[in-house]
Structure 1
Amino acid sequence: MTERRKALLMLDYQVALCEEGPHLRMPPLAAQVAERGVLETARTVLEAARAAGWLVVHVRLAFDPSYVLRTNRLARFDAYPDQQAMLADSPEAQIVAAVAPAPGEPVVDKGCVDPFVGTPLLNVLAAEGVGEVVLGGVATNLVVESAARHASDAGLQVTVVEDMCASFRPDFHEFSVQNMLPMFATITSSDALLKDLA
Structure 2
Amino acid sequence: MTKALLMLDYQVALCEEGPHLKAPPLQAQVAERDVLATAERVLGAAREAGVLVVHVRLAFDPSYKLRTNRLPRFDPYEVNRVMLADSPEAQIVKALAPVDGEPVVDKGCVDPFIGTPLRDLLAAEGVTEVVLGGVATNLVVESAARHASDSGLQVTVVEDMCASFAPELHDFAMEKVMPLFGAVTTSAALTFA
Tell me if TM exceeds 0.5.
yes
Q: Pick the TM interval, shorter chain.
A: over 0.9
Correspondence for 1:9 among 3, 6, 10: 6
Superposition RMSD in Å: 0.7
Residue 185 of structure 1 and its aligned partner are, at CA, apart by: 1.1
Deviation beyond 3 Å, 4+ runs, structure 1: none
Relative to the length of structure 1, the TM-score reads 0.96
Q: Secondary structure at the match of 1:10?
A: strand
The alignment status of 1:168 with 2:165, answered yes or no, reads yes
The aligned runs of 1:15-54 (5 Å cut-off) are 15-54=12-51
Which residue in the other structure is 1:138 paired with? 135
Q: Deviations over 1:36-66 (max 9, x none)?
A: 0000000000000011111000000000010
The alignment status of 1:76 with 2:73, answered yes or no, reads yes
Which residue in the other structure is 1:87 paired with? 84
Q: Secondary structure at the match of 1:152?
A: helix
Q: Which runs of 5+ in 2 are unaligned?
A: none
Which residue in the other structure is 2:99 paired with? 102
Relative to the length of structure 2, the TM-score reads 0.99
Residue 5 of structure 1 and its aligned partner are, at CA, apart by: 1.3
Give the whole-Å Cα distance in 2 for the aligned partners of 1:103 and 1:126: 20
**Aligned residues with identical type, % of pairs:** 75
Q: Which runs of 5+ in 1 are unaligned?
A: none
Q: Secondary structure at the match of 2:128?
A: strand
Give the whole-Å Cα distance in 1 for the aligned partners of 2:13 and 2:105: 17
The alignment status of 1:156 with 2:153, answered yes or no, reads yes
Question: Are the counterparts in 1 of residues 129 and 154 from structure 2 also a CA contact under 8 Å?
Answer: yes
Give the whole-Å Cα distance in 2 for the aligned partners of 1:53 and 1:131: 15
Aligned partner letter, 1:181: M
Give the whole-Å Cα distance in 1 for the aligned partners of 2:184 and 2:12: 26
